[in-house]
Amino acid sequence: MRNAFVRSLIAQAAADERIFLLTGDLGWSVVDAFASRYPDRFLNVGVAEQNMAGLATGLAQAGFTPFTYTIATFASMRPYEQIRNGPILHRLPVRIVGVGGGFAYGHAGMTHFALEDLAIARAQPGLTVIAPADPAQTAAAMEAIRTVEGPVYLRIGKGGNPEVPGLNGRFALGRPEVVMEGSRVLLLATGAVAANAIEAARLLHADGIQAAAAVMAHLPYAPTPELTALLARFKAAVTVEEGYTAGGLGSLAAETIAQRGIACRLLIRGVHASPAGRAGSTAFLQAAERLSPEGIADSARTVLTAAPK
């Protein structure tokens, strides 16, 4: 996904002289392609994320469209107040790119797991929050945010994220993208872990359970008509996100169901407690939180037993 991001950025920068890339000393082999092509619009600001958020605010006030790039934890949490008081408060077109959301940096351990970035980003009504599922959707999201006036938090995977079958790079703000049809239960996922949800739907189909699967890459502050309409079609749903279960996609679905009066039983699948002290591959860490395809499929079976008839 990070390569898809930087390819899109390079393409956009050719036509849009406002585009500027800042990195907090991260992105070896990723940001170089941009830096060599547009040296005047690239800055490695050093390991200083708070300052980077302030610099981006100032650059945006000077007429640029700055993208800040670093690992999702450092992109979102370290400079959270600076983002709030800068680009959000002043409605500036700063794009905060957090690379390696969830367990993408699995071997790096807890300090590098971005588990609450989506929740804290979504807590700001003036921030557009997007976690694409695959490289093609990352490119589509990059296209879509060109017209977003205020700031954006774009949480992307690291490298090696597969294309999600059936998604075909679809993306629109506020809209879930259905990638597999089904009538009994909805699997609604965000971010790179969506690939596991789609695989879970396939497992359920093979087991005779008609599961639908959809990707909700944009996590809006409030329910959207498109999300409401999708959830209203189901009596059971499982949300899937690589992060803590409060404040993110599960919360968005719960708020939609409750506030719109939808008769849908919801199971929020994500990280329920601190995974401190456990490192490993992304797949291992996902499986430990039942975010593997099998774990998600089991969650669907569980929620079906509790769903209204």
Partner 1 sequence: MKKVADQDVPRAARTFRRWIIEQSRRSNVGHVASALSIADIMAVLWGAVMKAPGTGRPDRDRFILAKGHAALALYCALRWKKLLDEKTFETFCGDGSTLGQHPEHALPGVDLSTGSLGQGLSVGCGLAYGLRARRNPGRVFVLLSDAECNEGQVWEAAQFAGHHRLANLCAVIDLNGLQALGHTKDVLDLAPMADKWRAFGWEAVDVDGHDCGALEAALNADHGRSRMVVARTVQGKGVSFMENRLEWHYRNLTDDECALALREIGPA
Residue of 4, 9, 30, 53 that binds partner 1 (CB under 8 A): 53
Residue closer to partner 1 (CB basis): 58 or 159: 58
Residue closer to partner 1 (CB basis): 11 or 48: 48
Q: Which of residues 79-118 bind partner 1 (CB under 8 A)?
A: 81-82, 85-86, 89-90
Please state the three-class secondary structure of 101-147 as a single string: CECCCHHHCHHHCECCHHHHHHCCCCCEEECCCCHHHHHHHHHHHHH
Q: How far apart are CA 102 and CA 301, in angstroms?
A: 24
Residue 61 binds partner 1, judged by CB under 8 A: yes
The residues, any chain, with a CB within 8 Å of residue 308's CB and separated by 6 or more, are: 235, 263, 265
Residue closer to partner 1 (CB basis): 46 or 125: 46
* Residue 126 beta carbon to partner 1: minimum distance, rounded to whole angstroms: 13
Q: How far apart are CA 93 and CA 87, in angstroms?
A: 7
By 3-state DSSP, what share of the chain in percent is helix, strand and coil, each rounded to 5? 40, 20, 40
Residue 224 binds partner 1, judged by CB under 8 A: no
Residue closer to partner 1 (CB basis): 14 or 89: 89
* Residue 40 beta carbon to partner 1: minimum distance, rounded to whole angstroms: 7
The residues, any chain, with a CB within 8 Å of residue 32's CB and separated by 6 or more, are: none
The residues, any chain, with a CB within 8 Å of residue 235's CB and separated by 6 or more, are: 184, 263, 264, 265, 307, 308, 309
Q: Residue count at the site for partner 1 (CB under 8 A)?
A: 27
* Residue 82 beta carbon to partner 1: minimum distance, rounded to whole angstroms: 6
* Residue 14 beta carbon to partner 1: minimum distance, rounded to whole angstroms: 18
CA torsion, ordered 290, 295, 301, 305, to nearest 10 deg: -20
Residue of 58, 159, 174, 225 that binds partner 1 (CB under 8 A): 58
**CB-CB contact of 264 with 212 (8 Å):** no
Residue 59 binds partner 1, judged by CB under 8 A: yes
Residue 76 binds partner 1, judged by CB under 8 A: no
Q: How far apart are CA 154 and CA 130, in angstroms?
A: 5
Q: Which of residues 31-50 bind partner 1 (CB under 8 A)?
A: 40-41, 43, 45-46, 48, 50
For residue 18, give Cα distances in angstroms to 13, 54, 62, 63, 78: 7, 17, 10, 7, 26
Residue 125 binds partner 1, judged by CB under 8 A: no
Residue 302 binds partner 1, judged by CB under 8 A: no
Residue closer to partner 1 (CB basis): 85 or 111: 85
* Residue 54 beta carbon to partner 1: minimum distance, rounded to whole angstroms: 2
Q: How far apart are CA 252 and CA 308, in angstroms?
A: 21
Mask of contacts with partner 1, 173-202, x by CB under 8 A? Answer: ------------------------------
Q: Quick one: tokens of 238?
A: 């499982």
The site for partner 1 (CB under 8 A) is made up of 40-41, 43, 45-46, 48, 50-51, 53-64, 66, 81-82, 85-86, 89-90
